[in-house]
Amino acid sequence: SKWVYSFGGGRAEGRSDMKNLLGGKGANLAEMANLGIPVPPGFTIPTEACTFYYQNGNTYPEGLQDQVMVALATVEQIMGAKFGDQTNPLLVSVRSGARASMPGMMDTILNLGLNDVSVEGLAKRSGDARFAYDSYRRFIQMYSDVVLGVDHHHFEEILEEAKDDRNVKLDTELSADDWKKVVAKYKDKVKAAMGRPFPQDVREQLWGAVGAVFGSWMNQRAITYRRLHDIPESWGTAVNVQAMVFGNMGEDCCTGVCFTRDPSTGDNDFYGEFLINAQGEDVVAGIRTPQQLTIHGRELQRSDLPSMEEAMPVVFKELNAIRHKLEAHYKDMQDMEFTVQQGRLWMLQTRTGKRTTKAALKIAVDMAREGLITRKDAIGRIDPAALDQLLHPTLDPKASRTMLARGLPASPGAASGKVVFSAEDAEKWVKERKEKVILVRIETSPEDIGGMHVSEGILTTRGGMTSHAAVVARGMGTPCVAGAGEIRVDYAAKTFKVAGKVIAEGDVITLDGGTGEVFLGAVPTIQPELTGDFATLMEWVDTIRTMKVRTNAETPLDAATARKFGAEGIGLCRTEHMFFAPERILAVREMILASDEKGRRAALAKLLPFQRQDFIDLFTIMQGLPVTIRLLDPPLHEFLPHTDADIAEIAKAANVDVAAVKARNASLHESNPMLGHRGCRLGITYPEIYEMQARAIFEAAVSVSQETGRTVTPEVMIPLVGAKKELDLMKDAVDKIAAEVFAAMGQSVKYHVGTMIELPRAALLAGDIAQTAEFFSFGTNDLTQTTFGMSRDDSGPFLEVYRAKGIYEHDPFAQLDQEGVGELIKIAAERGRATRPGLKLGICGEHGGDPSSVGFCQKVGLDYVSCSPYRVPIARLAAAQAVL
Ligand code: PEP
Ligand code: MG
């Protein structure tokens, strides 16, 4: 079988649609070669070889070795150089390349093929012994670290000593002879650490590197990254072996990273950074602050350094032409890496570029308008969950502020938090102390990924827009300011100094990742404007989706926010939330403490006007859109007083003694409250509670109808039903109150009585229940809890273990369990609609705002999903994607 896919010299054995086999990098290198774009020749060892490697005790499949040698010979032929040669050596890079991009997570080796003999060849060929020995020492350092496991700090020490000896500060000040000495010391260090010399056989070097790349698939940071990004371990990585080209052979050489459009704003500007006389990783590592690609970019960044457009106009033009060619070909924004060796341009990589959500929207909408993609394509390109980034606050322009520093606007959004100086501290402070933190680093590296993930914002003092911190923060949607060069960090003292101030660990700062500014203290924020590209895409979304999107809301503020986000009604009003306001809770407690029905009714009479006003507000805000009101659900003890002061207060108000209150508290205690006296069981035992609520609903509906002239059609929802008989009793009670209210007010309104389906029994008996119920709303929080027999409040700790062990892939309370809970929903939908064709079906558990669950809801034929206000736009987009 085929274990090697060659590319280069204007042709390739792979294509861009072979990502599963060749990894993203390998597939796109092949595609570029096929498009006639200059890529250094090379070959890809497919992901299948990685899978084989892990399944067969870290061994290679038969035939791989021979095929690699044949492919290598082709590369030698194209480059006119020979692997390990003493006059004209071929050097290669060995890089990982998984299906999904995992920036910086796995190992890379450059300059492979150098040894004591070929380094001389490189020196002669390049006419630059300094360059050759610098390359050799870089290779020894990288190879020893990655393949041989000799820690890089050993080499850094040797290098520091060499510079001290020569009394210089910069690497570039060392001569060829200095580097020769450094190389000798490096080799001694390897020999001392390994007990054998640094490998001189270039084939041994190559296989060592291939094994290390496969091995890096299972290193800790790659595992963490996969967990955070839901990338399966079974995919494996491909290995790309490619002829080296050098961006560090002199002033007519450079290396850079660029995007076909601005990844931060989405503007159709060529965007990128480069470094003259530098090797590939220098840009990403953020060691030198790079120069801008274009004049426009330089002006935007107010940079004094010349842009590539100015410094190397001819190659820039060629690069710009490739930019247009690649974007037109891939029909999406590309992220490219290039190197110029002695005036000749080489493309090292292209891939779909990561971008901010704001940029994603702008690019999708612009490309649809340009005719490059369809509107449906545009809708499909936006990650619904990522919309979240746009719905969150930015700094209030009117708020006063004290600016500390300015860096690059690396990832948008505003965030405040306490300063910490290491990724470990970030994790500790967030997890153990429940603090919000801003991670402040000179630069970040892939080891910091966990700490970056939990931070509110990231601030670095070195590196550009494509530095590790910037790329990773944008991917996470975390605000980031990068390269704030005036800031001096002192890790040992845990402080940073800027603008004459000293900021210590634990001090609060605010970042504006959209402007690159850093402020002292917490600066107030404001809600975003939902206009422009967001509004346009949302308009397109609404023309194609078939499911409605409602919101879960009780307060006028939430209802109004949800309307602004496009909610088409209320799918769940949890009336118990309305009972906790200070002026109401006393009446609720009086009701609970009352010894008989008469006492309960007296207390409920005090609640009625409050509850009626609540519904008047909601009906008014919703302007005739459907409003589903759920009658009281939680067990009564949730309302009971706990502090002595509260107990004394209620005892006085209810005219009973403190001991009686305590006794009632004790008698209402339940061992399993979620399975206890709650939901319609309350309505069955204390009908007067639901009667008061029904009265409030109908009085509000009639009065809003009268006042606004708009018909209000309330939907009254009974919770936790498990038997038709329960619903029958509750519906009779509701109907009776409706009739009374309509007679008294001289006007009636249409209304519906329905039920939540949140118990397995209700799902199974949905055919019966639908005889009475006029609608179903799936309460998937309780349905998940009761189907799994797993408490929604207590399952966190062991669910984490379950997920780690792969028993459940996701938290079923966040992402609907389609196999189990989903099956019950399907059964209930079918049986309910068999009894009552056209039965209205919705979902109001947390899953209603989760994109993958929304897709499932479409499949089983729900009429609407209901979710919290901030998730309404996410659900609208997910509902549209569900019909693509
Ligand atoms: C549910 O159970 O899914 C639901 C929406 O109700 P609650 O979360 O209030 O129990
Ligand atoms: Mg529930």
pLDDT in tens, 415-437: 999 999 999 999 999 988 989 99
pLDDT greater than 70 at residue 119? yes
CATH number of 393-526: 3.50.30.10
781 is in an annotated binding site: yes
Of all residues in the chain, the percent with pLDDT exceeding 90 is 78
Is residue 844 in contact with ligand 1, taking CB distance under 6 Å? yes
Q: Is the dihedral of CA 285, 288, 294, 297 positive or negative?
A: positive
State the Cα torsion 126-130-134-136 to the nearest 10°.
60
b/e map 304-330, b = 16+ CB within 10 Å: eeebbbeebeebbeebbebbebbbebb
- Return all residues near 352 (Cβ < 8 A) that are at least 6 apart: 330, 332, 333, 334, 335
145 is in an annotated binding site: no
Lowest mean pLDDT among 438-442, 446-450, 530-534: 446-450
pLDDT in tens, 538-589: 999 999 999 999 999 988 988 998 999 999 999 999 998 888 877 888 999 9
Residue 845 Cα, ligand 2 centroid: separation in angstroms? 7
- The CATH homologous superfamily for domain 254-355 is ATP-grasp fold, B domain (3.30.470.20)
196 is in an annotated binding site: no
Beta bridge partners, 716, equal 629, 753
What mean pLDDT, rounded, does the chain reach?
Answer: 93
pLDDT in tens, 686-736: 999 999 999 999 999 999 999 999 989 999 999 999 999 999 999 999 999
Tell me, what amino acid is at 652? K
- Choose which residue among 550, 630, 632, 633 to substitute to test ligand 1 binding: the one with the highest number of ligand atoms within 8 A of its C-beta: 633
CA distance 770 to 156: 74
Residue 800 Cα, ligand 1 centroid: separation in angstroms? 22
pLDDT in tens, 14-71: 999 999 999 999 999 999 999 999 999 999 999 999 999 999 999 999 999 999 999 9
pLDDT greater than 70 at residue 475? no
pLDDT in tens, 582-630: 788 899 999 999 989 999 999 999 999 999 999 999 999 999 999 999 9
- Return all residues near 116 (Cβ < 8 A) that are at least 6 apart: 200
CA distance 72 to 197: 25
Residues with catalytic roles: 468, 844
Name the band, by pLDDT with cuts 50, 70 and 90, for residue 285.
Answer: low
Tell me, what amino acid is at 150? V
Is residue 781 in contact with ligand 1, taking CB distance under 6 Å? yes
Is residue 576 in contact with ligand 1, taking CB distance under 6 Å? no
Q: How is the chain split into domains, by residue range?
A: 254-355, 393-526, 545-635+670-881
Is residue 758 in contact with ligand 1, taking CB distance under 6 Å? yes
Is residue 782 in contact with ligand 1, taking CB distance under 6 Å? yes
Ligand with an atom nearest the CA of residue 843: 1
Instruction: Decide the pairing of beta strands 89-90 and 501-504.
Output: unpaired
pLDDT greater than 70 at residue 884? yes
Query: Between these two residues, 332 and 795, which has the higher pLDDT value?
Result: 332
Contact 522, 508 (CB under 8 A): yes
Nearest CA to 291 out of 309, 277, 273, 278 is that of 273
Ligand with an atom nearest the CA of residue 844: 1
630 is in an annotated binding site: yes
Consecutive H or E run containing 475: helix 468-476
Is residue 845 in contact with ligand 1, taking CB distance under 6 Å? yes
Name the band, by pLDDT with cuts 50, 70 and 90, for residue 286.
Answer: low
The domain made up of 545-635+670-881 is a member of CATH 3.20.20.60: yes
Q: Considering only CA atoms, which residue is closest to atom 6 of ligand 1?
A: 779
ipTM of this predicted structure: 0.99
CA distance 62 to 2: 10
pLDDT greater than 70 at residue 805? yes
Residue 597 Cα, ligand 1 centroid: separation in angstroms? 28
Residue 819 Cα, ligand 2 centroid: separation in angstroms? 20
Ligand with an atom nearest the CA of residue 778: 1
State the Cα torsion 217-221-222-223 to the nearest 10°.
100
Residue identified by tokens 């709303």 is 777
pTM metric for this prediction: 0.79
Of all residues in the chain, the percent with pLDDT exceeding 70 is 99
Q: What is the pLDDT of residue 58?
A: 93
pLDDT in tens, 499-547: 899 999 999 999 999 889 999 999 998 877 788 999 999 999 999 999 9
Task: Walk across the sheet containing 344-352 and list its strands.
Answer: 291-292, 271-276, 254-259, 334-341, 344-352
Name the band, by pLDDT with cuts 50, 70 and 90, for residue 287.
Answer: low
What is the three-state SS of 380-392?
Answer: HHCCHHHHHHHHC
Query: Between these two residues, 814 and 819, which has the higher pLDDT value?
Result: 819
Is residue 757 in contact with ligand 1, taking CB distance under 6 Å? no
- Atom index in ligand 1 nearest the CA of residue 785 equals 2
pLDDT in tens, 364-397: 999 999 999 999 999 999 999 888 778 767 898 8
Nearest CA to 357 out of 503, 230, 534 is that of 534
Residue 824 Cα, ligand 1 centroid: separation in angstroms? 16
Contact 338, 256 (CB under 8 A): yes
- Choose which residue among 552, 574, 866 to substitute to test ligand 1 binding: the one with the highest number of ligand atoms within 8 A of its C-beta: 574
Fill in the DSSP letter of residue 446.
Answer: G
- Choose which residue among 577, 784, 844, 857 to substitute to test ligand 1 binding: the one with the highest number of ligand atoms within 8 A of its C-beta: 844
Q: Considering only CA atoms, which residue is closest to atom 1 of ligand 1?
A: 779
Q: What is the pLDDT of residue 284?
A: 65
758 is in an annotated binding site: yes
Query: Between these two residues, 203 and 303, which has the higher pLDDT value?
Result: 203
pLDDT in tens, 344-370: 999 999 999 999 888 999 999 999 999
